[in-house]
Structure formats: structure tokens, C-alpha cells
Amino acid sequence: TDDLRKFSREVVGDERNPYRIAEKLFLAVDRIPWAGALEYSTLRNISDYALRAGHADCGQQTLLLMTLLRLNGIPARWQSGMVFSDGDYDNLHDWGLLYLEPYGWVPMDVTFDRLGDAQLDMFYLGGLDAYRIAFNDDYSQPFAPPKQHFRSETVDLQRGEVEWRGGNLYFDKWDYTFQAHVSIENIRTSNR
């Protein structure tokens, strides 16, 4: 949209270094506070929505940053999956990757706040923590085999879809959980 192009020009200015452009755009999108948002399939232009709404969730922030990077000639890709911890926290989450020569594809997670330490402040532009697993490398992709009924989510496939011959089972009709276990025995066996 014109608003996205204007925002990009205002943020990037005369910068030509791809990393510095990415850094400026990352910081600009990071200023948009995280908040629960409308279902993605109800939005005509998710990036524009995230820019204008004044808040966005992790996927919407990521799609906005991807759009801005691409407007500046920097390739960007989507990832989504689960973030978890050593404790009780686990949650669905979206983040992305951007392509920087000569490094290749590097991670970015604009949703996780800056760390407040000058040496670590931009960690999530080029680095990721170990507490995540990627389930998806793209968005709005078709299923194989194709679904026979309407999808629950047409954009952000984090938790999968369930259907039966009688129709789609929407998210309020089933539950999911994610459990990860590290076994010392499995580590020993795989290292032999």
C-alpha cells in the first residue's frame, strides 16, 4: 500500500547497507506493541493492518517486517511453530528469516523485546533462543492431501487442522498440547 511504502521511506531514509536497513525496520516494527488481534483470514492486508492498528500479534508483526524488508529488496521468509521453556510455558509463535549476504538466511523475531543490554539488544535480529521448534516455513499453503471442508485458519498454520467426513472441526472443538522430553539415553545412543 502507499502507507507501507511511505512508512518504509521514512524509516530507511538514505540507508543503503542491507543490515542497517533491516535494523532500522526491525526497530520501527518493534515499537508496535504486541496484542491479540483479529483472525488473519478476516484481514484483507495483514501488513497494512499491523501498521495502522497500533498493535499486532507475533504473526502480524512478522508479516509487516517481511513486507518492509521486501520493499527494500531484502528477501524474507516466514516461520512458525512453538516456543517453550524449562518450566510450564509453551505457546504458539511466529517469526521469520531474512537473507543477508554473505551469511545467507538469518533468523529474526521482532516480537521478542529488545534485551536492554547494549551488547545483546539486537539479539533477535540474526539470532534465536533455543526454546522453539519450527513447524512451518511458509504461510497460506495448501494441504497435501487437500482438505475436504473449510479450513479453520487460512494463513497461519501453527496447530494444524482437524476434519472428519461430517465437516471441519474448528479450534473450539478440539485441544492440543506439546510436550518435549530430552532423554540422556537417547543422546548417548545417537552419539555412538
At 50-75, the pLDDT tens digits run 999 989 999 999 999 999 999 999 99
Q: Write down the pTM of the prediction.
A: 0.85
- For 90, counting Cβ atoms within 10 Å of its Cβ (0-12 exposed, 13-18 middle, 19+ buried), the class is middle
pLDDT more than 70, % of the chain:
90
At 173-192, the pLDDT tens digits run 888 776 666 666 655 555 55
pLDDT value, residue 46: 93
Distance of CA 43 to the CA centre of its chain: 17
Q: How far apart are CA 109 and CA 124, in angstroms?
A: 5
Q: How far apart are CA 128 and CA 110, in angstroms?
A: 11
Among positive and negative, which fits the CA dihedral 113, 116, 121, 127? negative
Assess whether pLDDT exceeds 90 at residue 151: no
Please enumerate in sequence order all residues whose Cβ is within 8 A of that of 1, keeping only pairs 6 or more positions apart, or say none. 45, 47, 48
